[in-house]
């Protein structure tokens, strides 16, 4: 699968060593005008990317100095085939050196990169191909790069799209390097399109300029992660087609001259401990995951001899943060030297490039427990009256990044006080300029004062943001505001056979009332076991939340997820309404 240019790449052999942690140059924290300028500087040092297999075998060591020359050559090849600065290049993003060469080649060529997802599962080939073709069309791509793993699908992906180029990296790298000048890249130029993964509508391309991208990575490095002058190293399995992987563990490290160990996303679920092994082996200090990644690691047998004492920033983001999962992880790996104080909660989204807020470092997860009936009936997140009061615990996600502003507003636009739940708005230099070629959607999300409506609900607490859920997911029953994740977490926490992401809850309009439906993944085939699970779940929802819920059992792996591993309730609801689960399940 290694399709490097053999003339300039470091070959795979028994003597291959990972790129060192030390860059050997004065640290700069993303204070550059453009990404090519940042790579020009990083290329003067010794840091770079290390590409590993899913089993933890080093496949390629790619110092930034080598990457820069390869990226320049790739830029010239792209321009030499007739692409013009400003054209868009879709890159189906494998976590490898080819992606790095092509992405940064686009940056030097003035082309707009559009990273696209690999299939989450090959069983959904037709749906994946349709989504990919729609994304290529939406991005108005002039060329598409398709990695070897799905190279056989090329004709099905690109037929009829009228592209200048469509093929694997090997074909691109085999083209001659023309002798021609590279364009002058300006901060206001578009750098890339980031397709948001969790939209109920068709995923939209977020427009990220060099200026907004640099504003975010600089704040992440300097203020959020507080990257040290020496000693920091990143380890990541996160997808490069998602904002947390692309910005957090591809662009940010390069702009502050950090080395990164990259694992293939598609193999993480099978071998999650390879991630921990690499942190231990290479003395990684910064690594992130959604909650489910920590859960996978805690549930699987651990490798012998792990030493996680080096891990100073164990970040959590990409989904609602589940504190109990992190507690289990910390307890499981305490003997390996992991400190719970390394946990760092954060909040962000592609529309803000990536990060919006970070919790303070070296404090671990801080939570706020609130009176659940009061939250649902009044929208006030006040502490419980006593130990018997039903409660909900939220993770505190820190202060907004410097140079940015954050407000929580009610439906009339009034800025709310501490503990009043409303919609979260953010403003600052990291924001997107809009969705690509979607002015109506852009104007719904960004107002004339450049405030971004995040679509998230939350409340302020001592200048820190607490996120309570997505506004579009909120269930309103008899004047109560019910968060679907409350019901999901209750089932997954209190029913031993259930795991995280086994439950999807949503509501349906039934005449003059709403019906709550819970889709639950069931691994049992015996009728009595299945009936017991349905009855137990319905009783649990009734007892803990005071609501009637229709429970539907679905097969394992049936609930849809986004490219970043988040449960997508909207798609689950659509599948349910279309009858996708009817032959496997019955409503309790």
pLDDT (tens digit per residue) in 272-309: 999 999 999 999 999 999 998 999 999 888 788 999 99
What was the pLDDT predicted at 240? Answer: 96
What was the pLDDT predicted at 478? Answer: 77
Residue 269 above 90 pLDDT? no
Residue 585 belongs to a domain: no
What was the pLDDT predicted at 125? Answer: 85
- The enclosing H or E element of 235 equals strand 234-236
Please give the residue range of the domain that contains residue 516: 474-577
User: For position 163, which CATH number holds?
Assistant: 3.40.50.12780
Residue 336 belongs to a domain: no
What was the pLDDT predicted at 214? Answer: 98
Cβ atoms of 77 and 98 within 8 Å: the answer is no
What was the pLDDT predicted at 514? Answer: 82
List the one residue out of 372, 364, 303 whose CA is nearest residue 332: 303
As a whole number of angstroms, the distance between CA 52 and CA 22 comes to 19
Cβ atoms of 50 and 67 within 8 Å: the answer is no
227 burial type by CB count under 10 A (0-12 exposed, 13-18 middle, 19+ buried): buried
List the one residue out of 11, 70, 22 whose CA is nearest residue 45: 22
- pTM passes above 0.85: yes
Residue 180 belongs to a domain: yes
With a CB cutoff of 8 Å and minimum separation 6, the contacts of 214 are 30, 32, 33, 34, 35, 38, 187, 255
What was the pLDDT predicted at 586? Answer: 43
Task: Examine the fold and report which residue of 230, 254, 276 is the final residue of a domain before the chain moves on.
Answer: 230
Number of separate helices (H) and strands (E) present in the chain: 17, 26
Residue 97 belongs to a domain: yes
101 burial type by CB count under 10 A (0-12 exposed, 13-18 middle, 19+ buried): buried
Cβ atoms of 324 and 294 within 8 Å: the answer is no
Residue 156 above 60 pLDDT? yes
Residue 429 belongs to a domain: no
- The enclosing H or E element of 157 equals helix 154-158
What was the pLDDT predicted at 274? Answer: 97
What was the pLDDT predicted at 4? Answer: 39
499 vs 26, which has greater pLDDT? 26
Exposure on the CB side of residue 425, measured as CA atoms within 13 A:
20
Which two three-digit tokens encode residue 158? 């690109």
Task: Examine the fold and report which residue of 196, 230, 264 is the final residue of a domain before the chain moves on.
Answer: 230
As a whole number of angstroms, the distance between CA 128 and CA 141 comes to 18
Q: Work out the mean pLDDT of the chain and round it to a whole number.
A: 92
Cβ atoms of 457 and 434 within 8 Å: the answer is no
Paired strand residues for 352: none
* CA 489 from centre of chain: 21
Residue 165 belongs to a domain: yes
> Residue 153: pLDDT band by 50, 70, 90 thresholds?
very high
Question: In terms of DSSP bridges, do strands 355-358 and 343-348 run parallel, antiparallel, or are they unpaired?
Answer: antiparallel
Q: What is the pLDDT of residues 536-575, one digit of tens each?
A: 999 999 998 889 999 999 999 899 887 666 778 888 888 8
Residue 422 belongs to a domain: no
Residue 173 belongs to a domain: yes
**3-state SS assignment for residue 511:** coil
225 vs 565, which has greater pLDDT? 225
Q: What is the pLDDT of residues 340-374, one digit of tens each?
A: 999 999 999 999 999 999 999 999 999 999 999 99
Mean pLDDT of 131-138: 92
Residue 3 above 80 pLDDT? no
Which two three-digit tokens encode residue 12? 């795979």
Mean pLDDT of 243-269: 96
Domain count, the chain: 2
Mean pLDDT of 20-41: 98
Task: Examine the fold and report which residue of 182, 211, 230 is the final residue of a domain before the chain moves on.
Answer: 230
Q: What is the pLDDT of residues 410-419, one digit of tens each?
A: 999 999 999 9
Length of the chain: 588
User: For position 486, which CATH number holds?
Assistant: 3.30.300.30
Mean pLDDT of 74-91: 98
């Amino acid at each position: 699968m290694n399709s490097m240019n053999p003339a300039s790449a470091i070959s795979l052999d028994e003597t291959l060593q990972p790129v060192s942690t030390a860059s050997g140059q004065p640290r700069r924290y993303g204070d550059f005008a453009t990404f090519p300028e940042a790579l020009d500087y990083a290329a003067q040092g010794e840091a770079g990317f290390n590409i590993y297999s899913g089993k933890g075998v080093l496949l390629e060591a790619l110092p930034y100095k080598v990457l820069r020359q390869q990226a320049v050559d790739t830029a010239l090849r792209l321009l030499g085939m007739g692409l013009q600065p400003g054209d868009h290049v879709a890159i189906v993003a494998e976590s490898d050196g080819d992606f790095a060469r092509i992405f940064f080649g686009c940056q030097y060529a003035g082309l707009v990169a559009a990273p696209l997802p690999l299939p989450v599962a090959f069983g959904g080939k037709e749906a994946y191909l349709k989504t990919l073709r729609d994304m290529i069309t939406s991005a108005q791509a002039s060329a598409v790069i398709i990695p070897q793993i799905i190279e056989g699908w090329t004709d099905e992906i690109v037929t009829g799209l009228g592209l200048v180029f469509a093929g694997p990296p090997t074909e691109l790298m085999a083209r001659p390097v023309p002798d021609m000048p590279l364009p002058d890249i300006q901060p206001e130029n578009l750098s890339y399109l980031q397709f948001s993964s969790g939209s109920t509508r068709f995923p939209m391309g977020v427009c990220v300029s060099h200026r907004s991208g640099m504003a975010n990575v600089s704040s992440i490095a300097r203020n959020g992660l507080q990257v040290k002058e020496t000693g920091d190293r990143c380890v990541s399995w996160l997808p490069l087609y998602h904002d947390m992987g692309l910005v957090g563990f591809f662009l940010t490290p390069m702009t502050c001259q950090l080395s990164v160990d990259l694992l293939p996303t598609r193999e993480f679920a099978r071998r999650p401990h390879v991630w921990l092994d690499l942190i231990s082996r290479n003395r990684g200090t910064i690594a992130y995951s959604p909650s489910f990644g920590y859960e996978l690691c805690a549930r699987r047998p651990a490798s012998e001899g792990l030493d996680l004492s080096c891990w100073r920033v164990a970040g959590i983001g990409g989904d609602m943060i589940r504190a109990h999962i992190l507690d289990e992880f910390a307890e499981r790996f305490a003997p390996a030297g992991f400190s719970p104080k390394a946990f760092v909660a954060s909040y962000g989204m592609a529309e803000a490039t990536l990060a919006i807020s970070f919790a303070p470092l070296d404090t671990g997860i801080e939570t706020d427990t609130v009176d659940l009936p009061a939250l649902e009936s009044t929208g006030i997140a006040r502490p419980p009256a006593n130990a018997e009061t039903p409660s909900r615990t939220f993770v505190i996600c820190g202060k907004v990044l410097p140079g940015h502003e954050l407000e929580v507003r009610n439906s009339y636009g009034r800025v709310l006080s501490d503990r009043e739940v409303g919609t979260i708005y953010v403003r600052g230099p990291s924001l997107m300029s809009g969705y690509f070629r979607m002015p109506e959607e852009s104007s719904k999300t960004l107002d004339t004062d450049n405030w971004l409506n995040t679509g998230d609900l939350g409340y302020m607490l001592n200048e820190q943001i607490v996120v309570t859920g997505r506004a579009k997911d909120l269930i309103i029953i008899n004047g109560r505001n019910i968060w679907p994740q409350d019901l999901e977490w209750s089932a997954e926490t209190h029913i031993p056979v259930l795991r995280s992401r086994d439950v999807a809850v949503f509501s349906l309009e039934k005449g003059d009332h709403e019906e709550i439906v819970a889709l639950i993944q069931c691994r049992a085939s015996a009728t009595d076991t299945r009936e017991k699970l349905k009855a137990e779940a319905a009783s649990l929802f009734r007892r803990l939340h005071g609501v009637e819920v229709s429970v539907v059992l679905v097969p394992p792996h049936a609930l849809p997820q986004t490219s970043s591993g988040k449960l997508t309730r909207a798609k689950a609801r659509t599948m349910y309404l279309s009858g996708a689960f009817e032959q496997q399940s019955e409503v309790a």
